[in-house]
Structure 1
Amino acid sequence: MTDMTGWSIETLHDGYSQAHRMDRVLYDSQTDHQRIVVFESAQFGRVMTLDGVVQVTERDNFIYHEMLTHVPLLAHGAAKRVLIIGGGDGGMAREALKHPVDLVTMVEIDAGVVEFSKEYLPTISDGAFNDPRLDLQIADGAEFVKSTSGGYDVIIVDSTDPVGPGEVLFTDHFYGHAKRALAQNGILVTQNGVPFMQADELAGTLRAFSSLFADAYAYVAPVPTYQGGFMAFGWGTDSQARGVDLETLMRRAAAAGIEGDYYTPEVHKAAFALPAYIRKLVP
């Protein structure tokens, strides 16, 4: 929501809000799926909100995007086909395409998000939409994973919170279809919010993952605009990729030319060392 003094006030969590001063509104439109607003912030550069909830900012998006791509891709070590569900701003594709992959399929439900991101948030995608390895599909992600022939080495679910269009991406049925879309030893990672505020979100995903995967776990990173402490990412695979050693990660990152602004192989390993209050959510 916005108020009369030019502040964007996010009320995602009951009894708690955060506000960003909108120094200049660049875009404000209602699509068939959601209300999209882009504004300039003194602290975070350009900010995009969907239905009043911050989705991405120029200044801190690198943490979120690097951790949802480099962790599974470098843990896998030989990924050639990547599927991104959501990610219409292009940031996830930007990071995935830094790897020596053959194909990144991005399935975004809202064409409006893609088009305005190209115009108003070009630094987020940083040319990813022009990469010939990117296959952009404007479609429902849940329906896509249900019907795809699969064979993806890594699937990244870059969803909104489990309300509105993003709600279906947190269901057992969706996770089951995503599992079938993975190649052998593939890895599924998901955005699971801030457990201090949204414990049920991560707990529900990991309950589903524990019935689907040999290794169902989570890892974390602090993203400043996602308030409430660590943000959590779900992790599901039938491989031993979570246990890859530091030296191997360092070698793979160097070979791929991955030099993150947040991600390092050391951070990769440390991200799976969960605080006790988050560890208790793992079945």
Structure 2
Amino acid sequence: MSDWIREKLHADYGQSLRISEMLYDSETEHQRLKVFQNGTFGRVLTLDDVVQTTEGDNFVYHEMLTHVPILAHGAARHVCIIGGGDGGMAREVLRHQSVENVTMVEIDGGVVEFSKQYLPTLSQGAFDDPRLNLVIADGADFIRTTEGGFDVIIVDSTDPIGPGEVLFSDTFYGHAKRALTPGGIIVTQNGVPFMQGDELTNTMRAFQALFADASCYLATVPTYAGGPMAFGWGTDGDARQTPLATLKDRFTASGLTPDYYTPEVHQAAFALPGYVLKLMP
């Protein structure tokens, strides 16, 4: 098994990926980063041996965390990304020509630099877009002190261990709400609810106390093992009820050509199975 990597995120369950070639292996101030080649998924990025993203299937995650809130909002001009050091989230947000500026806050500058070198297909030039303002800082500190004015906040965090833990706290979500414009939307990465149900329950409890509309939606990302992934949704507006016809019109006007997102998938993603509904407080 020396040419395999096995995730240990869960105590009694985990996926394994074959390492065809190790391309990068280094420990930063915050975490251990690896990039390796895999026959099915291409280049794979892991932090502390937990898969973060791959060349092969990252489009599912990045498209659903960006296009759902932006197209539901309908007039998003100012977007904040917390995390997202590989550049994939910025790539998808910046596909929306209606977005005027993107503030991306990444705690680990090392992730950005090696992603530019080892995972350039994820960012696809996003770091060179003049609309992107890259801030190397702790996301929780930034959101507490920012003047805000964001139409959409996307929390592209790691799991709630290590430096990502604070991004799942009630205090962080409260500060994030203050940083939203009226009718603004926050979306969050909330893990695989079959395996990480507490993450979703805790976020939904905080969102229900903060927002008029608190829910989640789902998408299946092959390398996030254990079932579909949940994305938290919080807003004081009614964007979740945007009619399908309106989503189709906005989608056509955007000129997007995604590999996963469609307006129909957008609406269907909010239809939750029973076991997920039971996790909602």
What TM-score, normalized to structure 1? 0.98
Equivalent runs, 1:50-61 vs 2, <5 Å: 50-61=47-58
What 5-or-longer segments of structure 1 have no aligned partner? none
CA deviations over 1:125-145 (Å, ceiling 9, x no partner): 011001000000000000000
The answer on 1:34 being equivalent to 2:31 is yes
Partner AA of 1:117 in structure 2: S
- What does residue 8 of structure 1 align with? 5
- Counterpart of 2:192 (choices 191, 194, 198) is 194
- What does residue 233 of structure 1 align with? 231
CA deviations over 1:115-172 (Å, ceiling 9, x no partner): 0000000000011001000000000000000000001000000000000000000000
Shift of 1:256: 1.0
Contact 2:14–2:225, Cα closer than 8 Å, also in 1: no
Percent identity (aligned): 69
- What does residue 274 of structure 2 align with? 276
- What does residue 70 of structure 1 align with? 67
- Counterpart of 2:241 (choices 235, 240, 243) is 243
- What does residue 125 of structure 1 align with? 123
- Counterpart of 2:81 (choices 80, 84, 103) is 84
What number of residue pairs does the alignment pair up?
280
Q: Distance in 2 between matches of 1:65 and 1:249?
A: 18
- Counterpart of 2:169 (choices 157, 171, 184) is 171
Shift of 1:254: 0.9
Contact 2:187–2:231, Cα closer than 8 Å, also in 1: yes
Partner AA of 1:154 in structure 2: V
CA deviations over 1:236-262 (Å, ceiling 9, x no partner): 000000000011001001111122100
Q: Distance in 2 between matches of 1:16 and 1:230?
A: 16
Q: Distance in 2 between matches of 1:95 and 1:244?
A: 21
Q: Distance in 2 between matches of 1:243 and 1:259?
A: 23
Q: Distance in 2 between matches of 1:102 and 1:278?
A: 35
Contact 1:8–1:22, Cα closer than 8 Å, also in 2: yes
**4+ runs deviating over 6 angstroms:** none
Partner AA of 2:171 in structure 1: H
Contact 1:217–1:234, Cα closer than 8 Å, also in 2: yes
Equivalent runs, 1:141-180 vs 2, <5 Å: 141-180=139-178
Over aligned residues, Cα RMSD in angstroms? 0.6
Contact 1:253–1:259, Cα closer than 8 Å, also in 2: no
What TM-score, normalized to structure 2? 0.99
